[in-house]
Chains A and B, each alone.
Chain A
Amino acid sequence: MKRFIDATVRLLPGVALVVALAIGGKLLSNWLQVVIVVAWIRSLASNVIIAIVGGMLIGNLVPLPKIFAPGIGTYEFFLKVGIVLMGARFLVTDVARLGGIGLAMVVVEILFSIAFVGLFARMFGLPGKLGSLLSVGVGICGVSAIIGAAPSIEAKKEDTSYAIAVILIFGAAALVVYPLIGRLLSMSDKLFGVWAGLAVDNTAEAVATGAIYSKAALAYTTLAKLCRNALMGFVILGFAIYYSRRGMAQSVTHKGLFLWQKFPKFVLGFLGLSVLFSLLAALFPSTEAHKFLASKTGALRNLSEWAFQLTFIGVGLRTSFKDMVKAGAKPLVVGVAAEAAVAVFTIGMVFAVAGFLPTL
């Protein structure tokens, strides 16, 4: 009980700040949507952009007391709650259809990322384990994959921080660059959404990139990204075995347990809600029952939107321009090459399979 109270006291100031900024940002964007008459300027004042840019400005320009830091770091929790709640909106058959092709695309994307980043890291003379961490981060799901892989391959602390810096710099860049490319190429919500889910590394930034493009794109981004997250354990296991065979890390004694430990459990929550609401819709086919369910999924959608709003504020507050400068030019060079290659490769793949992608 004491631990619970201590944690609450520690997290409360930062969470209160994030909630206050989230409500303020939402009200500001609602007001701007009414008063701005020029359509393209109005689209720049969208709720997602205001939350992220507002968070960045406050986080970088206002010297926030340290007391806020632990609470600001909770955005990952809100992100995952928001994603699990999104599960209620998807029919499980749609999840299976897009998930099937999504998983196949993710496998190709991961293999390409690992091969390309590995080659590039070697060309630049980066340490082998740093190259592997970058491959995991670029190939799967950014920061959480790097944190998950680091102890398994016994990577150095500075290599871990360096790999995370690369992922975060490009997560921030993706928020701006990807929607612009999508608009320039007139990509549909479906194609852009799947592309963002495949190519933007960190889950929070991927969801934000999809949301900046459109609400419809966000649904595709989330599903594609979850396919990547679901495969995290397999890739980390692969690297752990690779390094243990070379005597550079301990061996994996129980592979099944390892995979389960590294599996992101919130993906199960997302699937669980999708199954539950699909079952309810199938068991109660009357129009009244469907109206009832639609009102409930609507209420859950609002909760999910608020959870994402808290996430976007947290992402903005966490993005430190000072840290980006401190990380130096090397992550920039490695990152530009890796991210650009993955972006080009995945956009090609998305266009190539466009005809096979199911519509949600």
Chain B
Amino acid sequence: MEDNKKDHWLSLDWWTVIVAFTLTALVLLGLPAIPW
């Protein structure tokens, strides 16, 4: 069964994973910590 509105293959969830992994890679490569 299909949803009424067909999702794009790269959903919002996948984008969150891509962004989080990119940030992780940058941190591991030496991106300085943003103060909290």
Whether the Cβ atoms of A303 and B27 lie closer than 8 Å is yes
Q: Which of B1-36 contact A (CB under 8 A)?
A: 1, 3-5, 7, 11-17, 19-21, 23-24, 27-28, 31-36
Whether the Cβ atoms of A273 and B20 lie closer than 8 Å is yes
Tell me the bound Cα distance from A261 to B5 in angstroms: 13
Tell me the bound Cα distance from A268 to B32 in angstroms: 26
A151 CB-CB contact with B under 8 Å: yes
A84 CB-CB contact with B under 8 Å: yes
Nearest B residue (CB) for A280? B28
A253 CB contacts on chain B under 8 angstroms: 1
Whether the Cβ atoms of B24 and A250 lie closer than 8 Å is no
Tell me the bound Cα distance from A249 to B33 in angstroms: 51
Whether the Cβ atoms of B17 and A84 lie closer than 8 Å is yes
Partner of B1, one of A26, A85, A251, A296: A251
Min CB gap B20→A, angstroms: 4
Whether the Cβ atoms of B36 and A306 lie closer than 8 Å is yes
Tell me the bound Cα distance from A264 to B12 in angstroms: 10
Partner of A299, one of B3, B13, B34: B34
A54 CB-CB contact with B under 8 Å: no
Tell me the bound Cα distance from A302 to B33 in angstroms: 7
Nearest A residue (CB) for B31? A299
B4 CB contacts on chain A under 8 angstroms: 151
Tell me the bound Cα distance from A300 to B23 in angstroms: 8
Whether the Cβ atoms of B20 and A305 lie closer than 8 Å is no
A258 CB-CB contact with B under 8 Å: yes
**Contact A258 to B20, CB < 8 A, known contacts A77-B12, A265-B14, A302-B36:** no
B14 CB contacts on chain A under 8 angstroms: 265
Whether the Cβ atoms of B13 and A265 lie closer than 8 Å is yes
Nearest A residue (CB) for B32? A299
Whether the Cβ atoms of B1 and A269 lie closer than 8 Å is no
Whether the Cβ atoms of A269 and B34 lie closer than 8 Å is no
Whether the Cβ atoms of B28 and A296 lie closer than 8 Å is yes
Interface pairs A-B: 6 shortest CB-CB: A269-B17, A299-B33, A84-B20, A265-B13, A80-B16, A302-B36
List residues of chain B with CB under 8 Å of any chain A CB: 1, 3-5, 7, 11-17, 19-21, 23-24, 27-28, 31-36
Can you list 12 A-B contacts with CB-CB less than 8 angstroms, sorted by A residue number?
A76-B12, A84-B16, A84-B17, A84-B21, A152-B1, A249-B1, A265-B13, A265-B14, A266-B16, A269-B20, A295-B33, A296-B28
